[in-house]
Structure 1
Amino acid sequence: MINIDSRSSKPIYEQVVDGIKENIIKGILQPGDKLPSVRELSAILTTNPNTISKAYKELERQKAIETIRGKGTYVASNYEAKIDKDKLEVLKKQMKNIVIEAHYMGMEKDKVINLLEEVYKELRE
């Protein structure tokens, strides 16, 4: 379901957020699907429950999931994508770094675009 890299510089809660979002994009998780409880997911991933709680709070803030008291946490059924200007700037910087790395690997623009399309297709399959 979600892969955690303990050697990554990315915080674990962000890896959980990214993993759940990836599963939603891939269709593994559908709108209305019930997610494991904080304790269940922390046991599965062998992480601190506070880490999972922080990830769930972030996903709720982004309106990707919703928690119904006494019933559990679910993939949001009414999610609407919206552009967050701050996140867009972060994304732009990350893409710039990718283009720089690709250039120094000898990749031309069309190959970088093809690679991006390949990754996008992989997420949509």
Structure 2
Amino acid sequence: MGIDFLPDKPIYQQLIDRITGAIIRGTLQPGEKLPSVREYAVEAGVNANTMQRVYKELEQMEITETRRGQGSFVTGDEARIAMLRDEMKEQLVTSFLQNVEAFGFTTAEIVEHLQKRGDKR
């Protein structure tokens, strides 16, 4: 059991991305309880200290909240989740465009290709 992690990115960051992705997709709903640190650590195949760091960072990012004696929960702040979604979209587009430009493609070429590809669906 466990997750296959990429070698070029810290494990804790990959776990943060995994959880934020689940929130953005709606797999994790606002107010939903997250597994305990130990449960998630076992599921992911990581040390509990790594998972604790993940939960701490998510809380600092205001994506989750910890309730004393109850555990960690996805924020109920739908505006924060919408902002998270917009931030992720911006990061993905920026990264994509940097890669496109690195290979010498123009934005217009890529837009045209994406439109053709979309027409095929």
State which of 94, 99, 102 in structure 1 corresponds to 2:100: 102
Could you say which residue in structure 2 is the equivalent of 1:61? 60
- State percent identity of aligned pairs: 35
Flag the structure with higher helix content: 2
The answer to whether the Cα contact below 8 Å between 2:37 and 2:48 also exists between their aligned partners in 1 is: yes
Distance 2:100 2:3 in 1: 25
Greater displacement, 99-108 / 35-44: 99-108
* 1:1-12 alignment runs, 5 A limit: 3-5=3-5, 7-12=6-11
Could you say which residue in structure 2 is the equivalent of 1:123? none
Partner of 1:17, secondary structure, is helix
Q: Which segments of structure 1 move beyond 3 Å, counting only runs of 4 or more?
A: 79-83, 103-108, 112-115
The answer to whether the Cα contact below 8 Å between 1:63 and 1:79 also exists between their aligned partners in 2 is: no
The answer to whether the Cα contact below 8 Å between 2:3 and 2:45 also exists between their aligned partners in 1 is: no
5+ long unaligned stretches in structure 2: none
1:26-84 residue CA offsets vs partner (Å, 9 max, x unmatched) = 0000011110000000000110001010010000001100111111111011254369x
Q: Which amino acid aligns with 1:70?
A: G
Partner of 1:25, secondary structure, is helix
1:10 CA displacement: 1.1
TM-score with structure 1 setting the length: 0.69
Across the two proteins, how many residue pairs are aligned to each other?
A: 106
Could you say which residue in structure 2 is the equivalent of 1:35? 34
Distance 2:27 2:69 in 1: 24
The answer to whether the Cα contact below 8 Å between 1:41 and 1:52 also exists between their aligned partners in 2 is: yes
5+ long unaligned stretches in structure 1: 119-125
CA radius of gyration, larger in: 2
The answer to whether the Cα contact below 8 Å between 2:34 and 2:74 also exists between their aligned partners in 1 is: yes
Distance 1:14 1:31 in 2: 21
The answer to whether the Cα contact below 8 Å between 2:30 and 2:75 also exists between their aligned partners in 1 is: yes
CA RMSD after TM alignment: 3.1
TM-score with structure 2 setting the length: 0.71
Distance 1:4 1:67 in 2: 27
